[in-house]
Structures are given as C-alpha cells and as structure tokens.
A and B are shown apart, each in its own frame.
Chain A
Amino acid sequence: MKQKKLAAAIALMTAIPFAAQAQVSNNVVKVGVLTDMSGTYSDLSGQGAVVATKMAIDDFIANEKPNFKIEMVQADHQNKADIASNKAREWFERDGVDVATELVTTSVALAVMKVAKEKDRIALVNGTASATITNKECNDVTIHYTYDTYALANGTASALTKQGGKTWFFLTADYAFGKSLESEAAKVVTANGGKVLGSVNHPFPGTDFSSFLLKAQQSGAQVVGLANAGSDTTNAIKQAAEFGITPKQTLAGLLMFITDVHSLGLKATQGMYLTTGFYWDRNDDTRAWSRRFFEKQRKMPTMVQAGQYSSVYNYLKAVKAVNSDDTKKVMDYMKKTPINDFFAKNGRIQANGRMIHDMYLAQVKKPEEAKYPWDYYTIKATIPADQAFTPLKESTCALVKK
C-alpha cells in the first residue's frame, strides 16, 4: 500500500512539469514489434517487419522533428499465443509500451488485442489475415491495417469470375482462416454468376497435395482456388504444374505474398492471379521506398512489411498531432484522418478498426517478361478502397452503429 502511494506521488510530481510542454507520457513513445522471427511467417513479416519499423521511426524523426523520443522494442512470439500475451502484458504493464504492432497469425493478434483493450493501449495488426479482427472480435483499440481474408479472396475471385472463370474448385487448409478464405471467395464467385463445383479440406500443414489436386482436376473446374497459405500454397502450386493441372486449369492463390512467388520462381507461378495491398514496382514512390528497404534487408518488401512502415509512421503522426499518447485521443485522430502515402491510397480507418485502402489485382509475369530481379507482377486492376474490403454495414463488429 505504502509503495503504491509513494509511486503515485512520484508519478504526480514528475507528471506536472511535463504536462505543460507535452502530454506524451515520460516524453517517450514506445513501439513494440511482436512478430514471428523464426517460424512459418518469418519471411513475410519477421526481421523485415522490424526493419520497416525502424525505418518508419527514423524517417519520422527526420521529417517531423517530434518533441518526444521514440523507442522500439521487439520480440519473437514463436507463433504461440501465450508467449505473445505474456510479452504484451509485460510491455504494457512494466515497460510502458504504447503500441504493440505487427502481430502475425490470428491466435496472437486476438490475444494481444484483448490485452491491449484491458490495459488501454493500441494494437496495430498487420501480418494477420483473419477478418474476425474487425468483425466479431473487434475492439476500439485495434487497427487492422494491411489486408484481410475478405480483401484477398474477394479481389481475386471477382476478377477471375468476371474474366470467364465460371467454375471453381477449392483446395482449403483445414483451419479457420482457410475456411473463411474459401467462403469469402465462394460468395463472390456465385454472386458473379459462377459456380463452385466442390472443395476439399486438407490437413494443415500438408506436404503432398497431389491427391487433392487430382480431385480438382477431375472436377473439371476452370479455376482451382488455393485457400491456404505459406508452404501449403507453394507446394500445391509446384505439384499442380507437375501433374499438368496448370496451365489447363487456372490457379488462384487466395493468400499469397511476393516471397512465395520469389521462392517458387516465375516458371511455376506464371499466369497466376492474386490480390495484394502493395507491390514495390507499382510507381516511383513505391520503388523509392522499396529500394531503401532492399538496401537493408536484401529482399523486396511484402505488403505486410510495407504496411508495417506505413502503420507505424501514421501512428506516430497521430501522436504528434494530438500531442499525446493517450489511446483514445490517438485512436480518434487516426480514425478521422485519411491516409495517403506510398503504401496506401485513399486510406481511411473505419469505426470497426478496418483500415481500407486501394488493393491491387496482380498477375504473375511469364519468365521471359521479367526484366530485372523481383520483376514479378503486372498490376491488372486497382480495386478501390470502398470495394476492396467488407462493406461497413455488413461488419458484425459491435462498434459499428447501425
């Protein structure tokens, strides 16, 4: 008891002089990057996300000259929700971290969002795909920034169906986000006059997909939708080519990153359609930023890594604008301020925490079309922000007033 009183007194005394100039607590904004440094998702986020965060902080200090200090801490959650939850608690309670960010994989994101809500801090979710974050599980301290299952499945499925891919067969990873990818895509397919001929759930993680691919082949569907991710997707693509399924049937990767294409090579992936929130070679701004990233990481950025930079930068801008790291003030400012930078065009954060921005439909180039390293995509269409994501009125988030 005595201790607490003493602490409170010290806090009060130190707070008063600062209150006059800045309300950022201790005059430091602490950004915590909680990501998968060694597991399945470490290529699409991992070290690259840490690098992107550092860039964002350095650029912000150079450009905006804030009157507060910015620190970064990082941790590897090893894809375990309990480690993530423990780390987030420790950061918020003990280390004074203001925002936990990146948070790849759904179980981690959901766990940290809840801790953030309890401790009244902010969670900036980038690597995780699940759309539940801004629907059933939403809360008012979370922003889901880069992409989600809806945006990816929706973009790819509607474009392909409109181009004449009327019959579909799904290869679905047997877990929640595989199934949600499938159901989002299937809805769009039927809405555009297409037909789903069947689907098969494969165990996760799998290695041999030939049995499932044969089912897809026998279904005679024009498009085989890959509702899975990571090594499942890359193995399925590789084996589809082996069994002569492609190019007769078209493959659609519902959750693919540029690192997957890079690892498979253009020969195996050529002609595939996918939706992405960012492509490094889209315009001068994206190229300029991505080349700087490449200097540090020796790889071109994924959309998650680019989104990580943008989300942290815009968070810091909000802190500067409201001159406070108070969660509610920062969240309110971020939700009412449009975002336009090299990553996001027409960006806006909705009431449910969903950051909406233009998404891009990309087709993977043929090997002979690629002129230089990482020259992988042709951007076929821009999906405007208000069509790319779940319409707000359909969100099941309790924060959305109906």
Chain B
Amino acid sequence: MEIFGIPSALLGSQLLIGLINGSFYAILSLGLAIIFGLLNIINFSHGAMYMLGAFVAWIGLTYFEVGYWTSLLLAPVLVGLLGVVLERTMLKQLYKLDHLYGLLLTFGLALIIEGIFRDQFGVSGEGYAVPDALTGLIPLGFMNLPLYRGWVVIAALTVCFGTWYMIEKTKLGAYLRAGTENPQIVQALGINVPMLITFTYGFGVALAAFAGVLAAPVFQVNPLMGSNLIIVVFAVVVIGGMGSIMGSIVTGLGLGLIEGITKVIYPEASSIVVFAIMILVLLVRPAGLFGKS
C-alpha cells in the first residue's frame, strides 16, 4: 500500500521515529517555555544543560558506578542545582533589562560550559550503553522498534504532561502562573516570588538534563551535542507561542512528525524545515500557534 507514492510501512516507521525525536523537542522546549514564561529569559544555555545531563550520567557510570536509573533522577537534580546557583548569582541581575541581555548571558554561559567539556573530554564523544532492562526490539510489523526508544516516548510524555498538570492544576502552578502575570500582586499576597523564580529556573534546566540522560544511550555523549539542537528548540518554542506550556509540548511533538515526513521526501531539508514552518506561522499568527498576543 502506498500513501502519496510512499510505501505505508516506510511512512509509518518514519512517523514513529519522528514522534520519538519530537519527544526530545517537547521536553526541551517545555523547559525553555517555562523559563521564558516566568523569567522572561531566553535560556541559550539550555543545550549545554542537556549536554551536562548526558555527561553526568556518563561520568556517574564510568567513574562512580551510578547506573542509568539513578542518573535519571540524579542528573536533573545536580544540573537543576547548578541552574539555581546561576540564577542566584547572575540571571537575577537581569530581570529588569531587555531580553537581549539574558540571551547574551546564557549564550556566554553555554560557550563556557561547552568549552570546558570539550577541553576535558575531546570532541569524539563517549559511548553510553542502553540499560539492560531496555535492550531489545519490539516487532511492530512495519518496523522493529528498539525497546529503549519506546521508553523514551513514554518517559518524555509522562514528564511533559506531569509538568503541565502541575502548572495548570495545582496550587504551586497557580502561583507560578500568577507570578508570570503580575509578580507585584503575588508578592503582596505573601508569596516569595524570587524563590519561585529560582525554583522555576532550576526546574527548567532540570528538564533539559533529564532529556540529556534520556538521550545518552541513543546519541553519542558529546560536548557539542546540545549546541546544534538549541536553535531548533528555540524555533519550536517560538512556533508554539513563547511561554505557552501546552504549545511547546504539542509543537515539539508535531515538529518531530513533520521532520520525519521531510526525511522521506526531501532529506537534505530536514534540518531547516522547522525554520520554514516558523516563518509561515509567524506571518499568519504573530504570537505563535498557542500564544496570546
């Protein structure tokens, strides 16, 4: 059977793979969107945090015999703490300034972090094995799906929707949303807004680190693994509407699918299709798909 001249088995498998990649985009852009929503900062170091997550997992396994499952919790916590420190010492000073300065500061931080890791570990990257419990293939008929990739989708979607639930349905989330809308009033209600902001930044980069640990067994753990991803993830956030939680999740997954299709039709363009879509979306809907203008 063929759809648009493409064998349906091929299309099916490409869409599934697109969904897997989309899960990475979703979880990364979710973190960016949360940070932007509350801090008004475009976190350019997000790719570096993703890389750090993967490296924490690798270093843990190689030097301290910390396994995959522990790393999945430990890496986000450690990287989140680093985020808290960065927020307290540097980002804090920028909230009243133009977006530009936050972007530049985090860009500089990304250069520093990546540069140090490049010097320490070289550029070839390090291998990280798939955890034993998740090796093997699931026969789906039209393709054999590695068990681990299936796990990536489940884990990423769980975290994404869990985060969404926390922000939209819990009290903490209500504070967060209110803090985004009007920090003065929230402060007046006796809520520690600076604390809330610090927590949010830490949580946002922890999500990036979580994605990094998820990625470690799939991609080579490499100091530069985040630097090319970051602008794609930016585009996802912009398309979804800056600061929109659901927008970033849905757009992330959707973009994965579109990339998957592009890889069948015009593989060379699969790395820039996101930018074409971004231009189109912004021309039609200036505040992105889910944004409020």
Binding site for B on A (CB under 8 A): 38-43, 174, 200-203, 205-208, 210-212, 214-215, 218, 230-231, 234-235, 238-239, 242-244, 259-260, 262-265, 267-268
Q: Which residues of A contact B146 (CB under 8 A)?
A: 242-244
B122 and A42 form a contact (CB under 8 A): yes
Q: Encode B194-234 as 1/0 by CB contact (under 8 A) with A.
A: 00000000000000000000000011101011001100000
Q: Is B31 on the interface with A (CB-CB < 8 A)?
A: no
The distance from the CB of B71 to the nearest CB of chain A, in whole angstroms, is: 18
If A214-B143, A231-B224, A238-B220 touch, does A42 touch B123 (CB 8 Å cutoff)?
yes
B17 and A234 form a contact (CB under 8 A): no
Partner of A206, one of B17, B123, B148, B271: B271
The distance from the CB of A326 to the nearest CB of chain B, in whole angstroms, is: 38
Pick the most buried of B9, B149, B218: most chain A CB atoms within 10 A of its CB. B218
Q: Which residues of B contact A244 (CB under 8 A)?
A: 137, 144, 146
Q: How many A-B residue pairs have CB under 8 A?
A: 102
Nearest chain A residue, comparing its CB with the CB of B220: A234
Residues from 119 to 167 in B contacting A, C-beta threshold 8 Å: 119, 122-127, 129-130, 137, 143-144, 146, 148-149
A260 and B127 form a contact (CB under 8 A): no
Q: Is B180 on the interface with A (CB-CB < 8 A)?
A: no
The distance from the CB of A37 to the nearest CB of chain B, in whole angstroms, is: 10
A39 and B123 form a contact (CB under 8 A): yes
Binding site for A on B (CB under 8 A): 7, 9-10, 13-14, 17-18, 20-21, 115, 118-119, 122-127, 129-130, 137, 143-144, 146, 148-149, 218-220, 222, 224-225, 228-229, 260, 263-264, 267-272
- Complex CA gap A43/B126 in Å reads 12
If A39-B123, A211-B260 touch, does A203 touch B13 (CB 8 Å cutoff)?
no
Nearest chain B residue, comparing its CB with the CB of A205: B228
Q: Which residues of A contact B267 (CB under 8 A)?
A: 174, 200-203, 211-212
- Complex CA gap A239/B130 in Å reads 11
- Complex CA gap A324/B21 in Å reads 59
Q: Which residues of B contact A238 (CB under 8 A)?
A: 127, 218-220
- Complex CA gap A265/B228 in Å reads 25
Q: Which residues of B contact A203 (CB under 8 A)?
A: 267-272
If A208-B17, A214-B10 touch, does A235 touch B220 (CB 8 Å cutoff)?
yes
Partner of B144, one of A239, A243, A263, A265: A243
Closest 5 CB pairs of A and B: A203-B271, A263-B124, A211-B263, A43-B124, A43-B122
- Complex CA gap A260/B126 in Å reads 10
